[in-house]
Chain A
C-alpha cells in the first residue's frame, strides 16, 4: 500500500469509498505525520474528535450508507476561520480564549460534503505578514527546508500541505497570503474572484480584499474544493450570485492567448529567477500560444495602494477587539476607556498595532483625501486597465514571488522589506480577479517557485484549464 498521506482530496475520498483504506487509518497516518514533523509548527492544534469522526465514517462505509463526495477527507483549517466549538485564535494572544459559536460558511459547506476537520494551522497574527514568523504560537517553518520561512500569512496551511500533514487546507488571501506560501512550499493555492466565496466566519482583516481559498497537492483538488466552498450566501452581502461552474471537468484548448504586463516584465529583469519564467513562455510559444503585451501604468503603486486600503479597513475591522466582547481584558483597566486602550495595547502584536495605526492615519481628518480617497481612485484605474487587458487575452501570467522562500529571521528592521514580498500578488486583490499559483520550477537551494495564472472575474474555470495546460507542458506531456 502506498503512503496514503501523499494522496490528495479526490484520491483519498475514492480509496475510502472503495474500502481500500479505512478513514481511521488515513486520519491516524496524518496525525503521525503531524507529530513527526512537529518542528514545522504548522499545525497548532489537532482536534481531539478527529479520530471519532473518522470512526463514524468507517461505520457508514461498513453499513453501506450513501457516501458524500468528500466523505472522510481530512483537512486543516487556518486559525482565522470559525469551526463551531473549536478555538479560533488568529495566532494572537489577544484571542486566546475565543471559541467559535458557529461554523463559517466554508466550513458548513465542507462539512456537508463529509470533510473531517483535522486541526488548525499556524499563521501571522490577524493574517498580517508574509512569513508566519509573527504568531503567538511561535514561528512556522517551510515544509521543504526548515531553515526557511513557509511564507504567510497562511504559512501553516501551505507548509502542512507541502509536508503531507493533511489532504488539503484552507487559507485566506488579502494581499497574497495563500499564493505566496503555496509558492514557497511547492503546492497549489488559489485566491478566488472577490465574492466567489463567502467570508462569513472568516475573522476579517480587510473586508473588500479578503477571500478564502483552498491549498492543495494538485490542480483537480483545488478546482473541486473551490466549487464546494463557492456560492451566494445570505450571511455575506458581498458574496456573488454568479453561477458556480463545475471546475472539475478540466479540458484544455489547443492553445491560449496570454497577456504579459510590461511593468511586471520590467520587474522581472532584475530577478535571478527570470530564466524559469522565460523557459515557460518559450514552451508556450512553441506550442502555438500567442502573447500580447499590455501596460498597467500604476503597477508599481500596487503595494502602496494595498497598504492604504488594507490598513484602513483593518483599523475599522479590528475595532471590535476591545476586551469587552471576546478578547482578553487587561487587568490594569479600571474604567471603560482603559479597558479598550490597555486590553488592545497588551493584546495586539507590534505589526498589528502599526497597521491599525497606519489605517487610522490614512483615514484621519486632513489625510483622508491624500491617502484613502486617492488609493480608491487608483484602485479603480488599475481595475479598468486590467479589465481592458483581458479583452485581448485569456489569462495574464506573472511570477508569484520574486524569489524562493527566504531564511527565517532574514528580513531586517524595516517593515517594507517584508511588504515587498507581495510585489506580484496584491494586484489580484486590489482588482478582485482570481489568481492561481502553481509550482513551475526551482530556484536557489532547489526550492520551488510559483507561477500565477490570473483570469478575469469569475473565470475560474478557464484559469484551472490553463493551469492544467501549462502543467502538462512543463511535464513534457501532450496537451
Chain B
C-alpha cells in the first residue's frame, strides 16, 4: 500500500552539512478508510435512506434556559452528509497525492458528520435527547476514565497493568459491602481504594520483586478477583442483601450557575461526588506526570530504569508505590458502579470495562488527557447503543451491542497505528 519515492537525491554526494535525508512514504490508508466509510454512508443514508423528520432536543425539562428542538428532514440530511463525506474523501486523496499529511481535524469533522447522518437516519420520526445521550456517555465513561488513569500511571512507571478489570471489580465489591454496613458512601469510596491497592500489591510483588511476566500476573489476577467476588456474592451478599448489598448511593450535586449552562450544564455539572473527584483526578494526574518531581521520576523509571538508578532514584520502590497508587485510582472507578450508578453489587458487573480502559490507555498514547477523551468516546459508543434501542432504531440490537467494542478495535488498531509507549513498560528491572 506504500510507494517509496526517494527525494533529496545526492547531487552533492559528499555534503556533510545536509541533515539526514528523508523520503516521503505515501500512505493511502487515510483515503481508503474514508472512502469505505463514505460508501457505507451512501448505502445507509441514501440507498436505504428513510424519510421523515428527525428531532434532536437540546434541553431537558428542568433547564432554566430552554433551547428549541432541532428538526432535520431525514432523507435530505442523509444526502447532504454523504456529499460532504465524499468531498472530505476527495480532499484527503488530493492531500496524499501532493505528499501532505491528512490533518487530524479533518478526521474529526468526517467522524462528526458521519455520526450526525447516522443519528438522523436512526431517529426518523423520533426524538433524540442530546443532553441525555451525552450525560449517559459520561456516566458510562467514569469507571473507564478512572481505570485508564490507573493504567497510565502504572504503564508510565513501567508495569503493564492488565489487572485494571480486577481492580475495578474489587473496588465495586468492597465499596458495596463497606458502604452498606456503615451506611457511609464515603467510607465505601475509601474501601474501594484500599481494595484496588491490595490487588495492585499482588501485581507489584510478583512483577517487580519476582520478575513474573506482568501480563500473565494481570490476567491471573482478573480471573482471581472475578472468582472471589462471584463466590462471596452468591454465598454472602445474595442471602444478606439488606445488610451487605444495599449501599447508599451518592446524591447528585448541582453546581450553582455552571449546571444551568445549556447542554454543558446538565451533562457535566449535575453529577455525583465521584464524578467531580474524577475531574480533579484527571487534572491532577496530568499535572503530576508532566510537571512535578514525582512525574519526572515516574517517567524516568518507566523509560530507562537503569538511568534512573544511576542518579539515585529507587527504581523498585518507585514502581511498587506507583503501581499501588494506580490500584487506588482504579478502585475509585469500581466504586462508581455500586455507589454512583447501579446501587448494588452484581456478579461480574464490570463486564470488561477494565479492558476497554486498557484500550483507552493505548488509544490515548499513555497521556492522561487523551486517555480520558478515548474513554469518553467508548462511553459514548456504549450509550448510543442504549439510546437507540430505547427509541427503537431499525438496527438489530445485537449489532448495536457490538458498537463499543467495534469502536475500540478500530480506534486502537486503525487510528493509533504504532505509537510508542514507555520504553521499559513490561520489562522487569533486574539489578546485576
A binds B: no
